[in-house]
Amino acid sequence: MKKYILTACLIAMFSVVAVAQDGEMEPERRGFDKEKLFFGGNFGLGFGNVSTLVNVSPQVGYRFNRYLAAGAGVNFIYSSYKYEWLDYKEQFGVAGLNIFGRVYPIEYIFFQLQPEANYTWGKHKALSSDVEYKLDSKIVPSLLGGIGAAIPAGRGFFIVSANYDLLQNDRSPYGSRTFFNFGYNVGF
């Protein structure tokens, strides 16, 4: 009985090796491969009687292999809100840099970590007078943690992710709640 099991295992092993070598293998590329680059980020506009929002935050990344990707980007966010019932208007701006890393445990699902350094500024102004209060401009760190999906579409992927600022700085542009990003990455 042991001979039959040993013979079956040897035949199975040689069959796998034969099948693996049957197909034409593509040579492994070394070094930088521009086919692994991808471009994306966030872009948003919102205009109304009460509020304005402009968000331009492009990113560039590189897919190292099936499981890992990383990249960097810039942030620019401007928002203003007018509260007539409270007699004031506020304006807030953010400009910064970020890097990110993604791990893909399953082909289209990823976990992302994104440290950021954002320069923030702003002011509050009374609508009925010229009284104005400026916020101290300062650099505010954020650490975004999230989970997302990369859904294949054409030459890229629709990106849907849920994120949370793990540092919870009081001047964080992300607040203290989970927020969602929807976007498109072009490439790879």
The confidence band for 188, taking pLDDT boundaries of 50, 70 and 90, is low
- The pLDDT tens digits for 148-180 are 999 999 888 999 999 999 999 888 888 889 999
- The pLDDT tens digits for 25-80 are 455 567 888 889 999 888 888 888 888 989 999 999 999 999 999 999 999 999 99
Look at the block and give the residue holding tokens 């928002």.
79
Q: CB of 181 within 8 A of CB of 157?
A: no
- The pLDDT tens digits for 48-59 are 888 898 999 999
pTM: 0.74
Joined tokens for residue 183 = 């976007």
Domain 36-187 in this protein, CATH class = mainly beta
Joined tokens for residue 108 = 């289209």
Domain boundaries, the chain: 36-187
The confidence band for 9, taking pLDDT boundaries of 50, 70 and 90, is very low
Look at the block and give the residue holding tokens 């650099």.
139
Does the pLDDT of residue 24 top 90, yes or no?
A: no
Mean pLDDT value of segment 119-136: 88
Label each residue of the chain as H, E or C.
CHHHHHHHHHHHHHHHHHHHHHCCCCCCCCCCCHHHEEEEEEEEEEECCCEEEEEEEEEEEEECCCCEEEEEEEEEEEEEEEEHHHCEEEEEEEEEEEEEEEEEEECCEEEEEEEEEEEEEEEEEECCCCCEEEEEEEEEEEEEEEEEEEEEECCEEEEEEEEEECCCCCCCCCCCCCEEEEEEEEEC
Rounded distance between C-alpha atoms, residue 50 and residue 78, angstroms: 14
Contacts of 101 (CB under 8 A, 6+ apart): 68, 69, 70, 112, 113, 114
